[in-house]
Amino acid sequence: MEIVAFGVQSDEMPLIERAFQGHHDVRCVDVFLNEDTAPIAAGHEVICTSVNCDLGHRVMQTLAVGGTQMVAQRSTGFNNIDLDVAERLGITVARVSYYSPYSVAEFAWTLAMAVNRRIVRASTRTRDFDFRLDGLMGRDMHGRTAGVLGTGKIGEAFARIAHGFGMRLLGWDIAENPACAELGMTYVPKERLLAESDLISLHVPLMPQTSHLIDADALKSMKDDAILVNSSRGGLIDTAALVAELREGRFTGVGLDVYEAEAGLFFLDKSLEAVDDDTLARLVTFPNVLVTSHQAYYTEDAVGQIIHATVRNVLDYEAGRRSENVLVPRS
């Protein structure tokens, strides 16, 4: 059986091909699955997708007509997949429920410290042999308050790093994480966390209940000199509202590894094209904003774990086994 893997980055390709070796042939393509590219999957029982692929109802119907019976998603998130349609069409869907939480937590901290210490601006200056310190002053994290929205595995890893900095910890989640409580984290309502935190990091999944979790009111409740980091899902933040607050000169820094309209942009080279997303175009012009292209998970450790879990998901599908990774079981 040949498997088609969509949206494969050049660094990932040898890892995917090596992981499937001895099991199945795999055809890696760099295009993302959408309505235009869905015909590529025709005749393939199993396909492998990434989080920026479109698996809405029209694409799922095309897949079903072409004979696809299993979708193996190479990510934890699955908000890009219409699970109801998949179930109705009898298409099995599995994801990767776990990979290194340190990859994302460490990158979230990288963003936080980069905007706090003005690393990008400093680097740009020194390349031009401008060694002034004007405008580069940051703040100690020690003794300040870190607010962690979502205290699962990644949020816990982020909190452990914050604890190492000597920060006061505030947390918000539907259930408390005992490991975070042991670090001294105090669980508080979201409103209090936003009002008291100097650094706020988002680590919750994107669901209807969390869409625009950080909306205009939430942004206004934050400290004027707060740092906001999002390495989870772009839809957690109302980006238009964020731009409005930034235009008022608020926030020490904002670090975004995700963007709510990133599909069709992130993971692609748009450097020679006119990007018609006015919100993103305005966002990247702010000197206190750092935007990266959904790379927090992108370490050898995490990607390796994701790929090996994906292979297991395919083998489980073939053997009729069901694991915690299955979102829509085999009918």
Name the β-bridge partners of 2: 25
Which of 44, 74, 233, 250 is catalytic? The answer is: 233
Nearest to 172 by CA among 218, 217, 130, 126: 218
What distance in Å separates the CA atoms of residue 323 and residue 25, rounded to the nearest whole number?
23
Q: Are 26 and 49 in contact (CB under 8 A)?
A: no
Alpha carbon separation from 121 to 111, 128, 177, 201 (Å, rounded): 13, 11, 37, 22
DSSP label at residue 178: H
233 given a catalytic annotation = yes
294 given a catalytic annotation = yes
Which of 95, 118, 250, 294 is catalytic? The answer is: 294
What distance in Å separates the CA atoms of residue 75 and residue 93, rounded to the nearest whole number?
12
What distance in Å separates the CA atoms of residue 33 and residue 291, rounded to the nearest whole number?
24
The residues, ordered by sequence, that sit 6+ positions from 48 with a Cβ below 8 Å of its Cβ are 3, 4, 5, 6, 16, 26, 71, 72, 73, 74, 310, 314
Which of 12, 156, 245, 262 is catalytic? The answer is: 262
Tell me if residue 216 falls in helix, strand or coil. helix
Structure tokens at 121: 């601006």
Beta strands in 39-196 (DSSP E): 46-49, 70-73, 92-94, 145-149, 168-172, 186-187
Tell me the residue type at 155.
Answer: G
Name the β-bridge partners of 258: none
Q: Are 99 and 154 in contact (CB under 8 A)?
A: no
What distance in Å separates the CA atoms of residue 297 and residue 37, rounded to the nearest whole number?
25
262 given a catalytic annotation = yes
Active site residues: 233, 262, 294
